[in-house]
């Protein structure tokens, strides 16, 4: 009886540990993807509008956690005719 319970508990702990590890790994991967998207956007802004606009962009992007939103900003970067328009677009992004 006790041996059966021990085996059941051990299996449950292993399963819970595996699930927790998978969740943590997935979240880390998603965060790395978001950070890479932010980095790429700042790099492209620097090349397109210069370092001053890029420096203003970085903190605005830092709070954005939605990867789709970051991708949409990539489209907006292509459409922005100047740095001021770009900064307005980033500032109003929900």
The reported pTM is 0.74
Per-residue model confidence as pLDDT tens digits over 15-64 = 777 777 777 787 788 889 999 999 999 999 999 999 999 999 999 999 99
Range of the domain at 63: 2-92
Q: Where are the beta strands (DSSP E) in the chain?
A: none
Count of domains for the chain: 1
Non-local CB neighbours of 38 within 8 Å, separated by 6+ positions: 58, 61, 62, 64, 70
Helix (H) or strand (E) holding 13: helix 2-49
């Amino acid at each position: 009886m006790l041996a059966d319970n021990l085996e059941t508990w051990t299996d449950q702990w292993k399963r819970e540990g595996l699930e927790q590890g998978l969740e943590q790994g997935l979240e880390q991967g998603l965060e790395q993807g978001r950070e890479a998207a932010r980095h790429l956007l700042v790099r492209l802004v620097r090349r397109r509008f210069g370092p001053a606009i890029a420096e203003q962009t970085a903190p605005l992007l830092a709070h954005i956690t939605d990867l789709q939103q970051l991708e949409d900003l990539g489209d907006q970067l292509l459409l922005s005719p100047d740095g001021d328009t770009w900064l307005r677009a980033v500032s109003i992004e929900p």
